Amino acid sequence: MPQPDHPSFSPADVRHRLVETPGGRIHVAEQGDGPLVLLVHGFPELWYSWRHQLPALAAAGFRAAAIDVRGYGRSSKPAQAHAYRMLDHVADNVAVVRALGERSAVVAGHDWGAPIAANSALLRPDLFTAVALFSVPYSPRGPGRPTDTFARLGGEEEFYVSYFQRPGRAEAEIEPDVRGWLSGIYAALSAGTMPAAGISTVPEGGRLSDRFPEGGLPSWLTEADLDVYAGEFERTGLTGALNRYRNVDRDWEDLAAWDGVAVTQPSLFVGGALDPTTTWLAGAIKAFPRTLPGLTASHILDGCGHWIQQERPDEVNRLLIGWLEGLATG
Positions marked catalytic: 111, 306
Q: How far apart are CA 50 and CA 64, in angstroms?
A: 9
Q: How far apart are CA 153 and CA 277, in angstroms?
A: 12
Q: Which of 323, 35, 63, 192 is nearest to 315 (CA)?
A: 323
- Residue by residue, what is the 3-state secondary structure of the chain? CCCCCCCCCCHHHCEEEEEEECCEEEEEEEECCCCEEEEECCCCCCHHHHCCHHHHHHHCCCEEEEECCCCCCCCCCCCCHHHHCHHHHHHHHHHHHHHCCCCCEEEEEECCHHHHHHHHHHHCCCCEEEEEEECCCCCCCCCCCHHHHHHHHHCCCEEHHHHCCCCCHHHHHHHHHHHHHHHHHHHHCCCCCCCCCCCCEECCCCCHHHHCCCCCCCCCCCHHHHHHHHHHHHHHCCHHHHCCHHHHHHHHHHCHHHCCCCCCCCEEEEEECCCHHHHHCHHHHHCHHHHCCCEEEEEEECCCCCCHHHHCHHHHHHHHHHHHHHHHHC
Residue type at 50 in one-letter notation: W
Q: How far apart are CA 272 and CA 246, in angstroms?
A: 26
Half-sphere exposure of 218 (CA within 13 A, CB side): 28
